[in-house]
């Protein structure tokens, strides 16, 4: 479908209003501008940044991209082999061993954990945003990464040697096998789960974006921030195939 027709399709299907009722206009406009190309990682990134612009005044999508570029450049400088295993090893060295990206266990429910600019600055976040940082840096150095839309948790998977390695960016980039991933989900859920591959399904970009927004909906509801909760719901209703 041609780009102009695709944009018109989205506009008609989701009946996007000319102006948002609750979300700040700059955030809303950037968010909408990236929906028609959401399956591209750059569009997913910019849409996620747009979400943070509802609350934050000092966010620049270009600055976020430059921060990711800088991290990728550090990885590339250290790699002599172009093998995926070498790239992954250096990626983990930079992100987790040296920069210290990990989960914010002390203040898990802070809204800032869902804002990429803050995650990049503090190197703390929640699973879905840390996985997006991992994906964006990894793809900049030539790796393929997908999200894993697990219940109560979110993981990444990186392609290497014809297979996929599961990564837990929230736990400092720990590599998990299938059983360990299920055990992690059980630990967080507080109940036994059936070993089903459906629980480790690939996250589409709309699902990835929707999880970021739903996390913020829950944070704002808990904190009694009704107008901010409605702003997130307003964005969520625009995301195609979010379930």
17 band by pLDDT with thresholds 50, 70 and 90: low
Does 241 map to a domain?
A: no
Domain tally, the chain: 1
Task: Evaluate whether residue 120 is within a structural domain.
Answer: yes
What CATH number does the domain containing 23 carry? Answer: 3.10.620
For residue 84, what pLDDT is reported? 94
Task: Report percent pLDDT > 70 for the chain.
Answer: 93
pLDDT of residue 241: 85
The pTM assigned to this predicted structure is 0.92
pLDDT of residue 57: 94
- Average pLDDT in the 127-134 region? 98
**What's the burial of 114, exposed, middle or buried (CB within 10 Å: 0-12/13-18/19+)?**
buried
pLDDT for position 243: 81
Q: Following CA atoms 105, 51, 147, 77 in sequence, which dihedral angle do they give, to the nearest 10 degrees?
A: -80
Tens-digit pLDDT profile for residues 49-75: 999 999 999 999 999 999 999 999 999
Confirm whether 97 is domain-assigned.
yes
Q: Is the pLDDT of residue 13 over 50?
A: no
pLDDT at 11 over 60: no
What is the Cα–Cα distance from 81 to 186, expressed in whole angstroms?
38
Establish if 243 belongs to a structural domain. Answer: no
Domain extent, residue 75, equals: 3-236
Does residue 98 register a pLDDT over 70? Answer: yes
């Amino acid at each position: 479908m041609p780009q102009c027709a695709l944009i018109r399709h989205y506009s008609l299907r989701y009946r996007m209003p000319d102006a948002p009722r609750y979300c700040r206009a700059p955030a809303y406009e950037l968010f909408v501008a990236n929906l028609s190309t959401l399956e591209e990682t750059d569009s997913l990134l910019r849409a996620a940044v747009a979400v943070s612009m509802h609350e934050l005044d000092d966010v620049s999508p270009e600055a976020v991209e430059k921060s990711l570029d800088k991290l990728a450049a550090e990885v590339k400088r250290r790699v002599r082999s172009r093998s995926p295993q070498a790239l992954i090893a250096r990626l983990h060295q930079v992100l987790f061993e040296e920069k210290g990206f990990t989960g914010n266990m002390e203040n898990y429910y802070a809204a800032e954990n869902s804002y990429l600019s803050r995650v990049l600055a503090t190197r703390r976040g929640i699973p879905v945003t840390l996985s997006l940082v991992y994906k964006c840096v990894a793809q900049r150095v030539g790796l393929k990464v997908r999200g894993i839309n697990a219940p109560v948790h979110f993981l990444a998977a990186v392609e290497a040697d014809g297979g996929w390695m599961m990564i837990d960016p929230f736990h400092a980039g720990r590599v998990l096998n299938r059983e360990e991933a299920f055990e992690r989900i059980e630990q967080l859920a507080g109940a036994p789960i059936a070993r089903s591959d459906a629980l480790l399904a690939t996250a589409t970009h709309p699902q990835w974006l929707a999880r970021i927004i739903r996390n913020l909906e829950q944070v704002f509801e808990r904190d009694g921030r009704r107008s901010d909760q409605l702003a997130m719901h307003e964005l969520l209703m625009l995301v195609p195939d979010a379930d």
